[in-house]
Structure 1
């Protein structure tokens, strides 16, 4: 037990050292891993929903579990690369800057210990969140070979839904994080909570991609059976 505690203490100290002295590299690696987990979770939930819906309309209830060969590895890789090259470096820079700015100019300072965290949450939600949501859909649009038209359609269909979901999810997480954790520990915890958020964004991007495919097929004169199949997939997502 003592050895385990000693090992955990050394591991925590090492993680703290890396986060303080190599924040961009550390957060990029962490974001890469968490986006893999988030997208895998999204794909599993999509598979489970589709499977449950299929079984509810059939008498055949053969058990078929979700396995790695059912993962869309290209989709997972695209999401993970966004985490490594965009999210990781961005949050490694953003949260220390947010801390410094809130100390210099905080109109909520009169509310004492909660004034700073509330001010930082407001800045994060209204200054940081909208551009990063746009950046995610833009990055995925490029990875999928889309153009400006498909990007604009994604933003039109998915931005508001995603931002409202963010407003419901992140303020609670961020308020506790900014209030109780030191700066170096904020990004790792936020990233850990981001598994759920990453899964949500991955799901919304998949839904947008299905809508785009459905629109393209309708323009190209897709036959009714194919159209019905795409509509069923869209409903599942």
Structure 2
């Protein structure tokens, strides 16, 4: 494990965006794979067709890779704009709370809109009406669920994770979040 951690650190230091893109893309595919395995099992038990959707996993890979640079820059912004340490070297709980609040008020709705919009486009929703329906079906339930889960995760992330590990940490926690989004996205897609 130490060898892997050292390799990751070296890769991050030399190519941060590429390292984060590979990490985030991989975690997104794992999450969608878990979602599809869950759906597969459910479909097999109900007698419905159970087929692996490689294109769907590909969409999650593209989204995960594409989001990594944006996440890297956002984390850098949070780090520099809201320093955690006071002049005495103590952690400021107020600064930590501001980090989480700014993340959840500014970035979470934006990132979720990117997810819904890009997934909709990659799924073939080309008209404004079709994409609007996708947002209507998925965005608000996902945003409300986000606000129930992610503030605590980001509290831990912003307090304890060094900058280079923030995207991998959220990607790891995000396996379950992406599992939820994947299932919600697929459910709404089939519901239509």
TM value normalised by structure 2:
0.87
Q: Which residue is 1:74 aligned to? A: 55
Q: What is the CA RMSD across the aligned residues, in angstroms? A: 2.2
- Deviation, 1:112, is 4.7
Matches of 2:73 and 2:11 in 1, distance apart? Answer: 14
Q: Which residue is 1:139 aligned to? A: 118
Preserved contact between residue 34 and residue 192 of structure 1 (Cα < 8 Å): yes
Q: Which residue is 1:169 aligned to? A: 149
Matches of 1:70 and 1:158 in 2, distance apart? Answer: 23
Preserved contact between residue 24 and residue 167 of structure 2 (Cα < 8 Å): no
Tell me the matched-pair count: 185
How has the CA–CA distance of structure 1 residues 118 and 21 changed in structure 2, closer, same or farther, with 3 Å as cutoff? farther
Matches of 1:198 and 1:31 in 2, distance apart? Answer: 11
How has the CA–CA distance of structure 1 residues 88 and 112 changed in structure 2, closer, same or farther, with 3 Å as cutoff? closer
How has the CA–CA distance of structure 1 residues 113 and 21 changed in structure 2, closer, same or farther, with 3 Å as cutoff? farther
Preserved contact between residue 114 and residue 179 of structure 1 (Cα < 8 Å): no
Q: Residue 91 in 1 paired to residue 57 in 2?
A: no
Structure 2 alignment gaps of length 5 or more: none
TM value normalised by structure 1:
0.72
The structure with more radius of gyration = 1
- Deviation, 1:134, is 1.1
Matches of 2:69 and 2:91 in 1, distance apart? Answer: 31
Q: List structure 1 runs of 4+ shifted beyond 6 angstroms.
A: none
Structure 1 alignment gaps of length 5 or more: 1-7, 56-68, 213-237
How has the CA–CA distance of structure 1 residues 10 and 51 changed in structure 2, closer, same or farther, with 3 Å as cutoff? closer
Q: Which residue is 1:120 aligned to? A: 99
Structure 1 counterpart of 2:21, from 25, 28, 31: 28
Query: For each residue in 1:123-179, what CA deviation from the matched residue of structure 2 results, as whole angstroms up to 9, or x when unmatched?
Result: 111100111111111111111221211110111121111011111111111111211
- Deviation, 1:17, is 2.5
Matches of 1:101 and 1:21 in 2, distance apart? Answer: 24
- Deviation, 1:39, is 0.6
Preserved contact between residue 28 and residue 64 of structure 2 (Cα < 8 Å): yes
Preserved contact between residue 28 and residue 89 of structure 1 (Cα < 8 Å): yes
Matches of 1:12 and 1:157 in 2, distance apart? Answer: 40
Matches of 2:130 and 2:140 in 1, distance apart? Answer: 16
